[in-house]
Amino acid sequence: MEKNILLLCAAFAVFGCDNTPTNPATVPSSAQDTQPAAIPTFEDVDQILVFTSNIWSLSIRFNKSGVTDDSGQVGFSSSDFANFPSGTFDLKKLYTDLSARCVPKATGSAIIMVEFRRKDRKISPMPLYLTDSEYVRGLFKTAIDAAEKKETITGNKIDELAQTHPPIPPPPESQPTTFPAFEDVERFFITASTAWYLDIRIKKFGENDGSGQIVYGSSDCATVPAGTFDLRKLYDDLSARCVPKASDTTIYYFGITYKGKKQSPWYFSDSDYVRWIFKTAIDATAKMKTGSGKTIEELAEKYPPVPPSKEKK
């Protein structure tokens, strides 16, 4: 499986494909009221991907070169991945459980997104979300425990990363109530519930940096050059807007890595400010084509990081 399949973010479009809604899956009656109507049938699924707002991703493959296969990858950020073997998950049960839990709106204490990728590469045009944090925590634990080789290409160990940067953020009552000093911050990132995220490095190998990456979907990313943002002002502005608990309106996630290992999950809802941040980052990128064959700028026009407000539609 190619590594860029699991570049962190939630992929809800396969570029160059017709995103025609598929037939609804059969799910338990208790889920019918909230179940999106565009999940492909089990027989049509080629791959399932799960993404959390804490920049973890999980990919379970149903087929490989036309042969039934249920191996996959679990990953943190854009460079730490581990493979888990066939037999780790019962595919039919996994599909049924995920289908029953999907809702069309982000809510709860964690933003978790799921993609059902079809054999013909068509997927639902709508984002699908999971709100059952405990269930998703169990999925990631199962995948991490089953990984045959824990060490990633960066030298990190996937199980240790899960301890210091858990796939599912801790409950609000266990979160810190203050932000670390700017001087202690090494990087921070913003995740939107539209499959976009922005990762800014404050320091790299102990030296001041300021560059970063902006990413859409599962294979489209571009470098944001150093100097794009006044980092201290950006950090102060984001800190002032954050709250420690998610709600229906706090659809943006702000993560901080500081002093080497600790991370604080926070949420905020200022769409106009986030729109400006993503636009600034996108405008600063080189106009080069990404994995989909489009530039980040073209993707942002078609799939905006922050959807227009109802008043502007």
Write down which residue in 120, 138, 164 finishes a domain.
164
pLDDT grade for 130, boundaries at 50, 70 and 90: confident
Going by C-alpha positions, the residue among 293, 297, 238 that lies closest to residue 268 is 238
| Residue 81 main-chain phi, psi, to 5 deg | -135, 150
Query: 229 pLDDT exceeds 80?
Result: yes
Q: What is the mean pLDDT of residues 62-69?
A: 66
CA distance 306 to 88: 36
Going by C-alpha positions, the residue among 72, 66, 67, 65 that lies closest to residue 86 is 72
241 burial level (CB within 10 Å; 0-12, 13-18, 19+): middle
Same domain, 212 and 63: no
> Would residue 169 count as lying in a domain?
no
pLDDT grade for 281, boundaries at 50, 70 and 90: very high
CA distance 83 to 142: 12
Percent of the chain at pLDDT > 90 equals 16
What the block records as the tokens of 130 is 């999971």
Average pLDDT for the chain:
74
Write down which residue in 97, 129, 164 finishes a domain.
164
CA distance 127 to 253: 16
What the block records as the tokens of 15 is 């570029």
Count Cβ atoms below 10 Å from residue 286 Cβ, excluding itself.
Answer: 10
Domain count, the chain: 2
CA distance 61 to 73: 9
Q: What is the structure's pLDDT at 270?
A: 82
> Would residue 267 count as lying in a domain?
yes
Q: What is the structure's pLDDT at 89?
A: 92
Same domain, 108 and 255: no
Q: Is the pTM of this model over 0.75?
A: no
Q: What is the structure's pLDDT at 16?
A: 27
Same domain, 255 and 115: no
Domain hosting 247: range is 176-307
Same domain, 136 and 12: yes
Residues 289, 291, 295, CA angle at the centre, nearest 5°? 30
Write down which residue in 107, 142, 164 finishes a domain.
164
Same domain, 13 and 150: yes
Same domain, 151 and 300: no
